[in-house]
Chain A
Amino acid sequence: MMRALGMWEQQPKGGMMTATPSHGDADRGTRRDFLELVSWSTLAVGTAVALWPFIDSLNPSKEVLALASTEVDLEPIEVGQRVTVMWRGKPVFVAHRSQEEIEAARATPVDELRDPEPDEQRVQRPEWLIVIGICTHLGCVPVGQRSGEPRGDWGGWFCPCHGSHYDTAGRIRKGPAPRNLDLPPYTFVTDTLVRIG
C-alpha cells in the first residue's frame, strides 16, 4: 500500500503504479516535484564540477609548463651553420642562413608551392630561420642539419622516411608531406638571444 513513486515508475506504465493521490495532493505534488528537480540537478552539477580536478590533473603540470620555453644563444652559430635545440621535447632547427640561401628562398614563385607561403612570412629576421624539425608527413626528423648530410633537391632538408624535400625556407617542395615545416612561436630577446615558446 505504501508503494513509492519511483522515478521510472512515473512513466505512463499503468499496472506498476498503485499509489492514488488523495485530495490536496496536487499542491504537495508540485512542491515535491520542484524539490526533486532542484535536489537532483544540484547533485548532478556538483558531480560534474567534482570531476574537473581529475580531468585538469591530466593537463601539463607546473613542472612541464616551466620548461615550456627554451632560450638559444645565437652568438656561436656561424653563417651557414644549423643547430638543433630541444623545445617541449621536440627538435627545433635554428639555421643561420647564408645570403645565397635567403635569395634562393625569396626567388621561388610562391604560387608554385604546395603550401604557398612567402619566405618573409616564415622568418622574423632573414638570416635566422627557426622551424620545428618534424616532417609534416608522418613525424620523422628530416636530415640536413650537418653539412655532410643530404639536404634534398632544394638545399634545405630531406626526410629519409618517405622522401620529402624542403627548401631553405623549410617549405615542402617534393614528396608526400602536406605542409611546410611548422614554425614555433619565438621572440628575439636581444640580437643574439632568441626565446622559443
Chain B
Amino acid sequence: MQREFVEAPVRGVLKWIDQRLPVITWAYNELVVYPAPRNLNYWWNFGSLAGIMLTIQIVTGIVLVMHYTPHVNMAFDSVEGYIMRDVNWGWLIRYLHANGASMFFALVYIHIFRGLYYGSYKAPRELLWMIGVVILILMMATAFMGYVLPWGNMSYWAATVITNLFSAIPLVGDTLVTWLWGGFTVDNPTLQRFFSLHYLLPFVIFALVFLHILALHQVGSNNPLGIDLSKKDKIPFHPYYTIKDLFGLGVFLLVYGYFVFYAPTAFIEPVNFEPADPLKTPPHIVPEWYFLPFYAILRAITFDIFFIPAKLGGVIAMFGAIFVLFLLPWLDTSPVRSARFRPIYKQFFWILVLDVLVLGYIGGQPPEGWYVTIGQIATAYYFLHFLVILPILGKIERPLPLPKSLDEPVLGTAGAQAAK
C-alpha cells in the first residue's frame, strides 16, 4: 500500500526549504490532509491527548531538572525545600509533572482499551499496536524511575522492591541487581543512573510516538465500525480533527487542572513526604495507581509452579501480563474488528475491564486473606481472556452483519446508527 503525498501549498522561502528538506510537506500530509474516517467518536481523542501530555511532561521535566539535585543528601531537599518553596512557580511545575504522570497513564490506558474494544490491533495494524506496547513499557520504566527521584521514603522502598524483582532471575539474579544498583543497596549510584535514564527515555518515547503515527498513517485509522472505509468516507484531518482534538484538550485540561490546583497530592502517598530512610520500611508499600493491576498479578503467585519458585513465577506473570499484548493481534482470531459486531466479545471486553479494575483494587490492599484469593482469580482470568477466550471466541462467535460503508447500511441498522 503506497500512500499518496500531496505537495504542501507553500511559496517563497518555505517553498525553497521544502524542496530541499520536505518537512513542511511531511507535516502538511500528516496533520492537514491526512484522510481520517468521518465517523471517529470521542474515544479517538485520547491518542493525540497522550501525545500532548508527553510534550507537557518533557517541557516541565526539563525545567525541573534545572532546579533539582540528583544526590541522596540533597534530592529531597531540592524538591520539597527548594522547588516547592523558593523557585518561582516551582510548585506549579512540580505538580504539573507529578500529576502529569498519572494523567498520561490514564489517557494511555483509555487509548489502549479503545484499541481493544474496536479491534485496532488487527491486520494491518499489528505493528502499530506493537510499537504502542513498547511505548507503554518505556512509560512504565520512566514513571518508575521518576517516582524515585524525589527520594521520599516511598521512592526509596519502591526502588528497593522493584529492583529486587530481578533477583528472582535464576543464576544471575543477584549479580544483576547489584549491577542495577551500582552497589549493595539502593543508594546514590542508583539515584543518579535513574535520573539519567528518566531524562533519556522520554525522548526515546517521543521518537517511538513518531513511528506510531507513521505506522498509523501508512495504513489509515481504524474506526468505530472496524470496516475498511473508502475515500469518500474520509475527511481531512484539518480542520475537522484538529478542532475536535482541541475541544477534547480543553476538557482534559479542566480535569488535569483540577488535580494540579485543587488536589495536587491526591496521587502522592503521604509517606513520600518523609525523606528516604533505609531503616524504616513503610508499613504498607503501594506503587502508584497505574501499576496496581500489575502489582496485584505479581503478588498473586504465592505458590511454586513445578520447578519455578513463587518469586520468579510472580515476576514472570507480571511481565507476561504486558508481553501478552504483543501477541494479541494473533491471539484474537476473529476477522471482525469492532466489538459492535461481536456480541459475545463485547461482554468479555467489559468483563476484562472489570477484571483489571479488580486487580487494581487488590494491588492497593495488603496481601492478606480474601484479597489474595480474589487477586489470584482475577489474575487467572486476565490470562484466560487473552490466551484461551480470545482464540476460541474468534472461531465460534457469529458476528453481526457488517455494513459495506458509512452511507450504505446494506444490512441491518447498526451501521447507520454508528455513523451518526
A and B touch in the complex (CB under 8 A): yes
Chain A residues with a Cβ under 8 A of chain B:
1-9, 11, 13, 16, 39, 43, 53-54, 56-59, 61-64
Known contacts A57-B88, A59-B88; decide if A16 and B9 are in contact (CB<8 Å): yes
Kindly count the residue-residue contacts between A and B in the assembled complex, taking CB atoms under 8 Å apart. Answer: 63
Taking a contact as CB atoms closer than 8 A, the residue among B66, B82, B90, B236 that contacts A4 in the complex is B236
Q: Is B238 interfacial (CB 8 A cutoff)?
A: yes
Q: Are A54 and B63 in contact, CB atoms less than 8 angstroms apart?
A: yes
Name the distance in Å between B67's Cβ and chain A's nearest Cβ: 7
8 A Cβ contacts from B51-69 to A: 59-60, 63, 66-67
Is A61 in contact with B239, judged by CB distance below 8 angstroms? no
Which residues from A are CB-within-8-Å of B38?
2
In the complex the two chains form, is B246's CB within 8 Å of A61's CB? no
Tell me how far the C-beta of B41 lies from the nearest C-beta in chain A, rounded to whole angstroms.
Answer: 18
When chains A and B are docked, how far (Å) is the Cα of A59 from the Cα of B86? 11
Distance in angstroms between the alpha carbons of A1 and B38 in the assembled complex: 13
Report whether A8 and B92 are in contact in the complex, using a CB–CB cutoff of 8 Å. Answer: no
Interface residues of B (CB under 8 A from A): 8-10, 28, 32-33, 38, 59-60, 63, 66-67, 82, 85-90, 92-93, 232, 235-236, 238-240, 246
Which A residues lie within 8 Å of B67 (CB)? Answer: 57, 61
Known A1-B232, A16-B9, A43-B246; judge A57-B238 contact (CB<8 A). no
Say whether B90 contacts A6, CB under 8 Å: no
Task: Please give 20 more A-B residue pairs, beta carbons under 8 A apart, in addition to A8-B32, A54-B93, A61-B87.
Answer: A2-B38, A4-B235, A4-B236, A7-B238, A8-B10, A8-B28, A13-B9, A39-B246, A43-B246, A54-B89, A57-B66, A57-B87, A59-B88, A61-B67, A61-B82, A61-B86, A61-B88, A62-B87, A62-B88, A63-B86
A58 contacts across to B, CB distance below 8 A:
63, 66
Chain B residues in 8 Å Cβ range of A64: 86
B86, A7: Cβ atoms under 8 Å?
A: no
- Residues of the A chain whose Cβ atoms lie less than 8 Å from the Cβ of B88: 53, 56-57, 59, 61-62
- Minimum Cβ distance to chain A for residue B231 (Å): 10
Is the Cβ of A4 less than 8 Å from the Cβ of B240?
yes
Instruction: Quote the shortest CB–CB distance from A16 to chain B (angstroms).
Output: 6
Interface pair B9/A11, CB less than 8 Å apart: yes
Cα of A64 to Cα of B90 in the assembled complex, Å = 14
CB <8 Å contact, B85 and A9? no
* Minimal Cβ-Cβ distance residue in A for B28: A8
B238: which A residues are within 8 A, CB to CB? 4, 6-7
Residue of A nearest to B87 (CB): A61
By beta carbon, the residue of chain B nearest A36 is: B239
Please indicate the chain A residues that have their CB under 8 angstroms from the CB of B59 in the complex. Answer: 54
Partner of A6, one of B63, B82, B85, B236: B236
The interface residues of chain A lying within 8 Å CB-to-CB of B66 are: 57-58
> Which residues on the A side are within 8 Å of B86 (C-beta)?
61-64
Counting from the closest, the 4 A-B pairs by CB-CB distance are A53-B89, A62-B86, A63-B86, A61-B86
Collect the chain B residues with CB atoms within 8 Å of residue A2's CB: 38, 235
B32 to chain A: which residues have CB within 8 Å? 6, 8
Q: How far is the CB of A132 from chain B (nearest CB, A)?
A: 26
Q: Are A53 and B9 touching (Cβ within 8 A)?
A: no
CA distance A164 to B246 in the complex (A): 62
- Bound together, the chains give a CA A11 to CA B67 distance in angstroms of 46
Contact between chains at B235 and A57 (CB < 8 Å): no
Nearest B residue to A51, CB-CB: B59
Cβ–Cβ < 8 Å partners of A57 in chain B: 63, 66-67, 87-90, 93
B232 contacts A4, C-beta separation under 8 Å = no
Interfacial chain B residues near A62, Cβ < 8 Å:
85-88
Q: When the two chains form their complex, are residues B93 and A7 in contact, meaning their CB atoms are under 8 A apart? A: no
In angstroms, Cα B9 to Cα A6, docked, is 11
Residues of B within 8 A of A39 (CB): 246
Chain A residues whose CB sits within 8 angstroms of the CB of B28 once the complex forms: 8
Q: Who on chain B is nearest to A5 by CB?
A: B239
Q: Which residues of A lie under 8 Å from residue B235 when comparing CB positions?
A: 2, 4
Q: A6 near B239 (CB under 8 angstroms)?
A: yes
**Complex Cα distance A8/B18, Å?**
15
**Minimum Cβ distance to chain A for residue B419 (Å):** 13
User: When chains A and B are docked, how far (Å) is the Cα of A9 from the Cα of B10?
Assistant: 10
- Interface CB pairs A-B, < 8 A, 14: A1-B232, A4-B235, A4-B238, A4-B240, A8-B8, A8-B9, A8-B10, A11-B9, A54-B59, A54-B60, A54-B63, A57-B67, A61-B88, A62-B87
A-side contacts of B85, CB under 8 Å:
62
Task: Give the distance to chain B from A39, nearest Cβ to Cβ, in Å.
Answer: 8
Name, among A9, A53, A62, the residue most crowded by chain B CB atoms within 10 Å (CB to CB): A53
Verify A53–B93 contact, CB threshold 8 A. Answer: yes
Q: How far is the CA of A6 from the CA of B90 in the complex (A)?
A: 39
Chain B residue nearest to A63 in the complex (CB): B86
**Measured between alpha carbons, how far is A104 from B240 in the docked complex, in Å?**
80
| A9 CB contacts on chain B under 8 angstroms | 9
Chain A min CB distance to B273 (Å) = 20
State the CA gap A57–B232 with chains docked (Å). Answer: 50
Q: Pick the contact of B82 from A3, A43, A63 — CB < 8 Å?
A: A63
Complex CA gap A54/B89 in Å reads 8
Q: Which residues of B contact A16 (CB under 8 A)?
A: 9
Minimum CB distance partner of A14 in chain B: B9
In the complex, which of the residues A3, A4, A9, A39 has the most CB atoms of chain B within 10 Å of its own CB atom? A4
Shortest Cβ distance from B129 into chain A, in angstroms?
29
